[in-house]
Amino acid sequence: MTFGLAYPWMLLLLALPLLVAWFVPPHREERQGLVVPFLGRLSEHTGQQPSRGALVLRGGWIRKFSLVVVWACVVLALARPQITEPPITKDVPVRDMLLAVDLSGSMETKDFKNAKGQTVDRLSAVKEVLDDFLSRRKGDRVGLIFFGNAPFVQAPFTEDLKVCRQLLDEAQTKMAGPQTAFGDALGLAINVFDRSTVKERVLIALTDGNDTASQVPPAKAASIAKDKGIVIHTVAVGDPRAAGEDALDVDTLKNVASTTGGIFSHATDRKQLDEIYRKLDELETRKAQTISHRPRRDVYWWPLAVALVASLMQQILQLVVHQTRARARARREAELMGDITMKPGTQPKEVAA
């Protein structure tokens, strides 16, 4: 914490009273100094002629000292004293990350074991792993896309990872339809990234089936994503031996990842899924741009408070001095009157005032 002045050049005003005293004549006000009915005769007897004069009123040392202190404080307040607080650092995200999660009907298949060894459906296993993955994404902005028959943005880019984790926990299978529109999900992700001003853009797409409902082929969407600098990592979940709509289109997922410079991974159980996200977590290390700011706090009221206290103290001291002198004068007058009354019939001595 340091102290400084916003306008240090204002301190030049400290010399202003001296310049005024040197170059500006004292205030003059006409006033009769002596009124006598016999001024003419007095002038003849003394041989002096009445003339104009001036009396410069000067205060005591208390008044002068308080004026100096008050003026210095006022000038210091005009210079705007500030206290610079310790620096505050803030990490600004330099990467946007989207998670595209498949919510098709096949995600209800119970073929995954959770951390407790219980058999759960694919979506529940994905939620557990993704929740841990999101808890370590500090420094990134994260968004969520859910897709089934059609994709939709569940959470735009945000630094509030707690909200993303809550929305992911509330996701249910078939809430976007029973089919899989993987290509459309990639197209929606590209549109979401278009509104991003961050250079690094990463999409992690997770699906357990082949594309059965997209209007945009995944290969074309991957080519557009590459042109826009978007890296897509694909994660296949489920049994590669499945057939029909639940069958995994591994070739398409590999092609999407390789086209954009991403990684393709396949998980058939919770342990493999953990390894995939641990690998992605190591690959996508957190990067953040640190901005440092030192807030400044104005304290101009400090010198103004000192000036107020100095002014009040000056008034109090002058009042005390005035009362002390008045009591001393009254005491001297009382002593003088006592001397006169104690010596009746004697000639009073002349007492100097």
- For the question of whether the overall pTM of this predicted structure is more than 0.85, the answer is no
The pair of structure tokens assigned to 284 is: 């996508």
What pLDDT, on the 0 to 100 scale, is given for residue 239? 67
Topology (CATH level 3) of domain 90-292: Rossmann fold (3.40.50)
- Asked if pLDDT for residue 352 goes beyond 50, the answer is no
Task: Report the 10 Å Cβ neighbour count for 268.
Answer: 15
Mean residue pLDDT across the chain: 81
The pair of structure tokens assigned to 235 is: 């994660």
Q: Are 217 and 186 in contact (CB under 8 A)?
A: no
Which tens digits make up the pLDDT trace of 193-213?
Answer: 988 877 788 899 988 767 877
- Asked if pLDDT for residue 244 goes beyond 90, the answer is no
DSSP strand pairing (200-207 vs 95-102) = parallel
DSSP strand pairing (264-267 vs 288-293) = unpaired
Let me know if 335 is exposed, middle or buried by CB neighbors in 10 A (0-12, 13-18, 19+): exposed
Mean pLDDT on 3-23: 89
Domain ranges of the chain: 1-18+59-86+294-316, 90-292
Which tens digits make up the pLDDT trace of 136-184?
Answer: 777 678 899 999 889 999 999 888 889 999 999 999 988 888 888 899 9
Residue carrying the six token digits 């880019």: 157
Distance CA(60)–CA(80), nearest Å, equals 31
- Asked if pLDDT for residue 216 goes beyond 60, the answer is yes
Least confident of 178-182, 231-235, 338-342: 338-342
- Asked if pLDDT for residue 46 goes beyond 90, the answer is no
Mean pLDDT on 79-98: 79
- Asked if pLDDT for residue 353 goes beyond 50, the answer is no
Rg for the chain (alpha carbons), in Å?
Answer: 45
Distance CA(148)–CA(211), nearest Å, equals 10
Task: Report the 10 Å Cβ neighbour count for 313.
Answer: 14
